[in-house]
C-alpha cells in the first residue's frame, strides 16, 4: 500500500476537534537582524509555543516557492505534485466562482491585433477596469453559447478576465491560445489529446466569434486565453481522513481551495474577530477547522515590514478566544513565507506549533522561525501536518498488528 | 508532474552567481573526542557558518556509503538511484578519457589461467605497473579492432586496465566476463537482451584473440572484464536547471563526472591556489561553479587524521579569496565522509553551510558536523542542495498560482 492508502485505511471518525490556523505568508527574513515574527510582540503565541511541539515546515520542498494553490493542498494533506490546480481554475476561485466538474476555465486578456491578425499589444493598452467590465457585458450578451456549450465571461482588473465554458464532455488538455509575445499571430488553441479535439473546436469557434464581435472595440479587438483547466479530481478530506471539515476565510481564493477538498465554507465577516466568532458558532458542527488570516501576506507583498509585524500582533491578540474553545489539537503555521524584504512569496520554511495534550512539549519560549527550528518536529513537508493532527486527535488506528 | 519536472519548469536564467565548494571526504569520526573538523583551526569557515544556514546532508540515504559517482550526481541535483554510472565508465573517467555515447567501457584485470582455461590467479600475481604498460602496448598493437569495432586498452596500476570499444550499436547489457573467483573457468560475457547479442559476440571475439596473443605472457596470459557500461543518458544541468556550469577540479574522475552533466571543465593547476585562481579568471563566464578539493579525502583514505586536519586548515586559508568574488550563493560541503578512523568513504552525513543574503542565519559558531546539525537546514538529501541554491539565487519561479 502507498502511504496515502495506509492513512486512508487508518482514519476513523471521533469527537475530537482539530483547528488549523493558517497565517498567510507568516515566515519572513531578517531586517536589522530580526524577522517579522522576531520583531513582533506575541506573548500569547510565545506562551502556546512553550506548551507545544514545534518545527519548521517546507510547504512543497527545499527551494520551491509555492503559489497559494499548491501550498494549501499540502496543508490540507494532499501531495502538491500529484494534484495540480490550473491557472484558469485558480483565477475562477479567486473571484469566487463555484465550479463543477463539467466547467472548463481559462484566464483571459483583452488584446490588440492589426489587420493581419498580428498581436500588437497583449494587454490592449491596459484598458481601465470599467472599460473591461463594459466589454465583458457586451461580449456576454453577444455570445451566450457555442454548439450547446454555455460561455460566461467575468471581468477582472484592467485587461484581465476569467472565462468559463460549461457543458458535457469538455476537456482541459489544450495548449494556450496566447503566444505570450507581441508581434506574433493570434492563433487558436490546439488539443493535446484526441478526446480534447471537440473542446478545442468549441474554444476556437468562440475565439472567432469574439474577435468578430470586438471589431469596433480597438484597442480591445481580440482576446487571448491561457491556463485552460478544470477542477482536479481530488478525493475529499472526508474520503481521505474521515474528517468533517469547515473553512473560515475571507478571501474567495482560499474559500474556493477549501471547497475543492470538500470543506464546508462558512459565511463570515471581514475581521479576525468575525472569523473567530464564526469558528465559535460552528464549533459543534464539525471536527476540523481551517481558519485563514490574510493580512500578514498582503503586508509582506507590499514590502511593509512594520505592517506585517502589526498584522502578526493582531493575530496574537485574537489567539485566546480560539484557545477558549479548548480544541483537542491546535496547529498554528503558515502556507508559505512572504518576507517583506522580497515583496513576494518565498521558499523559506515556516514555523509551526502543534498543541495537544499528547505531546512532549519542547519548552521553546518564542514562536519564531529560528526558535521553532529547535523543536522536535524538525524540518518536514507541510503535507505531514494532517497525519500529525489526526494522530494527536486520536483519529488514526494502529498500522498493522 | 514529478518534482523533477516541476523544478525544470520553474528554472530561469539570471545573472546571479552560485559556487558549490566540495571538500572531498570532509566528514569524519572522533579521535580522542574530536572529529577532524572539530580538531581543525578554521576561523574563516567558522565565521562564514555564523552568517549562513547550516545542516547535515546525506549523500544518498541513511546508512549508504557512496562512491564518488553517485555522491557527485546527488550534489549536482540528480537522483543517484535513477542515474547510474557503471564501473567501466567510472574507471575511464578516472584516467581522463572523454567518452562519447557510442563508447562501451569495461574495467579489466590481467589474470593467469592454466592449460584447461581454469583461472589460477585473478590478478596475474599482481604484475608491476611497468609490466602492465608493456603488455597493454603489445595488445593494442596486436588487436586494433574486431568486426569494425575499434578497441583501445589503457593501463592502470598493477594488473588493472580500462578497455574501450568504439563503434556503432554497442550495448552495455552484458554480464561480467569475470567469475570473480579463482578455480573457475574463464568464460566470456553474455548478453542480457537480444539487442546486446552482437556486442557480446564482439567482446567474446576480442577475449579469444587477446588470450591467444597473451599465450607467452604468463602469468598475465588472459584478461577478465567487468562493469561493462556506457555513459548514462543524463540531461545537462542547463536542461534541468538553466545553469551555465563550470567545473574546477584537479583529478580526472571529478572532471569527467562534471562533463557527464554538461559542465565546462576548466583547465587548472595542481594547488588550491591554482583552482581558486581559475575560479576568479572565469567568474564572469558562468553562473554556477563546482570547485573540488581532493586532499582531505586522500588523507582520510590513508588513515592519517593529522594530515586530514591540515588539509582542512589549508582550505580554510583559501576561503577568503573565494568570498572576495562576492558570489550570490556559496555552499561549502562534502561529497561524503572519509573518517581517518575508517580509512575509507563512509555513510556519515556531511556538514553543509549555505551563504546568501536571503537567509535567516543560524548563528552557529563552528563549521563542524555536530554544530551544523543544529542548523535550520536540518538533515536532508544532498540532491536538494541545487534547488536550494537556485532559490537563493532567485533562479526559480513560483510553483502554481
Chain A nearest CA to B381, separation (Å):
10
Contact A56 B378 (CB under 8 A): yes
**Contact residues on chain A for B16, CB-CB shorter than 8 A:** none
Q: Which of B360, B387, B401 sits opposite A69 (nearest CB)?
A: B401
Which residues contact residue A165 at a Cβ distance below 8 angstroms, ignoring those fewer than 6 apart? A103, A104, A105, A149, A150, A151, A199, A202, A203, A206
Cβ of B7 within 8 Å of Cβ of A64? The answer is: yes
Q: Identify the band that residue A186 occupies on the pLDDT scale cut at 50, 70 and 90.
A: confident
Average pLDDT over residues A347-368: 97
**Strand-pair category, A145-146 with A119-121:** unpaired
Predicted local distance difference test score (pLDDT) of residue A110: 96
What would the pLDDT profile of A214-241 be if each residue is shown by its tens digit? 999 999 999 999 999 999 999 999 999 9
Contacts of B390 in chain A (CB under 8 A): 63
Say whether pLDDT at A358 is over 90.
yes
Name the nearest CA neighbour of A152 among A216, A196, A88.
A88
Per-residue pLDDT at A187 exceeds 90: no
ipTM of the complex: 0.91
Q: Which chain A residue's Cα is nearest to B364?
A: A370
**A152: confidence class by pLDDT, cuts 50, 70, 90:** very high
Chain A nearest-CA distance from B215, in A, is 58
- The reply to whether residue A30 touches residue B378, judged by beta carbons under 8 angstroms, is no
B98: number of Cβ within 10 Å:
12
Distance between CA atoms of A166 and A104, rounded to whole angstroms?
Answer: 6
| Sheet with B53-58: strands ordered across | B264-265, B245-248, B288-293, B18-23, B329-333, B350-355, B53-58, B378-381
Q: Residue A65: which of B359, B360, B396 has the nearest Cβ?
A: B396
Give me the half-sphere count of Cα atoms (radius 13 Å) on the Cβ side of residue B70: 19
Q: In this complex, which of A35, A91, A347 lies closest to B391 when CB atoms are compared? A: A347
Whether the pLDDT of residue A161 is over 90: the answer is yes
Residues of chain A with CATH 3.40.720.10: 3-83+235-392
Q: Show the CA angle centred on residue A195, arms to residues A194 and A198, nearest 5°.
A: 95
* Geometric angle at alpha carbon A299, from A294 and A305, rounded to 5°: 135
What's the pLDDT band for A366 if we cut at 50, 70, 90? very high
Q: Do A29 and B360 touch (CB under 8 A)?
A: yes
The answer to whether the CB atoms of B387 and A63 lie below 8 A apart is: yes
Size of interface A-B (CB pairs under 8 A): 95
Q: Give the helix ranges, DSSP H, for B128-182.
A: 129-142
A81 → closest Cβ in B2, B389, B391: B2
Cα separation of B4 and B9, whole Å?
Answer: 9
- The closest CB to that of B398, out of A65, A81, A378, belongs to A65
Do residue B360 and residue A91 have CB atoms under 8 angstroms apart? no
Residue ranges in chain B modelled with pLDDT below 70: none
Pick the closest to residue B285 from B257, B270, B269, B264 (CA basis).
Answer: B264
How far is residue A57's CA from residue A350's CA, in Å, rounded to a whole number?
5
- The shortest CB-CB distance from A370 to any of B360, B378, B400 is to B360
Closest-CA residue of chain B to A73 = B400
Cβ atoms B190, B184 nearer than 8 A:
no
Query: Is 0.90 surpassed by the pTM of this model?
Result: yes
pLDDT, residue B180, reads 87
Considering only CB atoms, which residues of chain B are within 8 Å of chain A?
1-3, 6-7, 10, 358-363, 374-378, 380, 384, 386-392, 396-401
Which residue of A lies nearest to B10 if distances are taken between CA atoms?
Answer: A64
Give the CATH H-level superfamily of domain A3-83+235-392: Alkaline Phosphatase, subunit A (3.40.720.10)
Cβ <8 Å between B377 and A374: no
Chain B partners within 8 Å of A85 (Cβ)? 400-401
Q: What confidence category does residue A23 fall into, taking pLDDT thresholds of 50, 70 and 90?
A: very high
Chain A residues near residue B374 by CB distance under 8 angstroms: 374
A61, A67, A379 ranked by CB distance to B398: nearest = A67
Contact A65 B377 (CB under 8 A): no
Report the 10 Å Cβ neighbour count for A192.
Answer: 15
| Average pLDDT of the residues in A24-32 | 98
Q: Which residues of A touch B (CB under 8 A)?
A: 29-30, 35, 56, 60-71, 80-81, 84-85, 87, 90-91, 339, 341-342, 344-349, 369-370, 373-374, 378-379
At B356 the pLDDT is 98
CA B206 to chain centre: 29
Residue ranges, CATH 3.30.70, chain B = 90-229
Residue A401 scores a pLDDT above 90: no
The pLDDT assigned to B401 comes to: 85
Mean pLDDT estimate for chain A: 96
Question: Grid coordinates standing for A312?
Answer: 502578526
B391, three cell numbers: 532559490
Count CB atoms within 10 A of the CB of residue A394.
15
Residue A206 binned pLDDT confidence (cut-offs 50, 70, 90): very high
> Are residues A29 and B359, on separate chains, in Cβ contact within 8 Å?
yes
Q: Report the chain A residue with the minimal C-alpha distance to residue B362.
A: A370
Which tens digit of pLDDT belongs to each residue from A57-95? 999 999 999 999 999 999 999 999 999 999 999 999 989
Q: Assess whether pLDDT exceeds 90 at residue A295.
A: yes
Kindly report the nearest CA distance between residue A30 and chain B, in angstroms.
6
Candidate CATH numbers 3.30.160, 2.60.40, 3.30.70, 3.90.400; the one for domain B90-229 = 3.30.70
At residue A180, the pLDDT reads: 86
At residue B186, the pLDDT reads: 85
| Grid cell digits, residue A335 | 502556507
Residue of A nearest to B376 (CA): A373
Which among A33, A35, A64, A95 is the top mutation candidate for probing chain B, defined by the most B β-carbons within 10 Å of its own β-carbon?
A64
Amino acid at each position: 500500500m502507498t502511504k496515502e492508502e495506509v492513512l486512508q485505511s487508518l482514519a476513523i471518525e471521533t469527537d475530537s476537534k482539530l483547528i488549523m490556523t493558517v497565517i498567510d505568508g507568516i515566515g519572513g527574513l531578517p531586517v536589522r537582524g530580526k524577522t517579522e515574527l522576531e520583531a513582533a510582540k506575541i506573548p500569547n503565541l510565545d506562551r502556546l509555543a512553550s506548551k507545544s511541539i514545534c518545527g519548521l515546515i517546507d510547504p512543497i520542498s527545499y527551494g520551491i516557492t509555492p503559489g497559494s494553490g499548491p501550498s494549501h493542498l499540502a496543508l490540507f494533506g494532499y501531495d502538491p505534485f500529484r494534484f495540480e490546480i490550473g491557472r484558469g481554475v485558480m483565477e475562477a476561485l479567486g473571484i469566487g466562482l463555484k465550479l463543477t466538474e463539467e466547467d472548463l476555465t481559462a484566464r483571459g486578456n483583452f488584446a490588440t491585433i492589426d489587420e493581419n491578425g498580428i498581436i500588437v499589444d497583449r494587454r490592449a493598452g491596459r484598458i481601465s477596469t470599467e472599460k473591461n467590465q463594459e466589454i465583458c457585458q457586451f461580449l456576454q450578451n453577444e455570445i451566450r453559447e457555442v454548439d450547446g456549450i454555455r460561455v460566461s465571461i467575468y471581468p477582472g482588473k484592467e485587461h484581465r478576465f476569467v472565462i468559463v465554458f460549461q457543458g458535457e464532455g469538455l476537456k482541459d488538455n489544450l495548449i494556450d491560445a496566447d503566444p505570450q509575445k507581441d508581434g506574433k499571430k493570434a492563433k487558436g488553441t490546439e488539443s493535446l489529446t484526441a478526446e480534447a479535439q471537440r473542446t478545442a473546436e468549441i474554444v476556437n469557434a468562440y475565439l472567432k466569434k469574439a474577435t468578430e464581435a470586438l471589431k469596433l472595440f480597438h484597442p480591445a479587438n481580440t482576446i487571448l486565453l491561457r491556463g485552460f483547466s478544470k477542477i482536479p479530481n481530488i478525493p475529499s478530506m472526508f474520503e481521505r481522513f474521515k474528517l468533517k471539515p469547515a473553512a473560515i476565510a475571507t478571501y474567495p481564493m482560499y474559500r474556493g481551495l477549501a471547497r475543492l477538498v470538500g470543506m464546508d465554507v462558512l459565511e463570515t465577516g471581514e475581521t479576525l474577530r468575525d472569523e473567530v466568532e464564526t469558528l465559535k458558532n460552528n464549533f459543534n458542527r464539525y471536527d476540523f477547522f481551517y481558519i485563514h488570516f490574510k493580512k500578514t501576506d498582503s503586508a509582506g507583498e507590499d514590502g511593509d515590514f512594520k505592517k506585517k509585524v502589526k498584522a502578526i500582533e493582531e493575530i496574537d491578540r485574537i489567539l485566546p478566544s480560539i484557545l477558549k474553545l479548548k480544541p483537542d489539537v491546535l496547529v498554528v503555521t503558515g502556507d508559505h513565507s512572504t518576507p517583506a524584504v522580497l515583496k513576494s512569496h518565498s521558499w523559506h520554511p515556516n514555523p509551526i506549533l502543534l498543541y495537544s495534550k499528547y505531546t512532549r512539549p519542547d519548552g521553546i519560549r518564542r514562536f519564531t522561525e529560528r526558535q521553532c527550528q529547535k523543536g522536535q518536529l524538525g524540518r518536514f513537508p507541510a503535507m505531514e501536518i494532517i497525519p500529525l493532527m489526526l494522530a494527536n486527535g486520536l483519529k488514526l488506528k494502529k498500522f498493522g498488528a
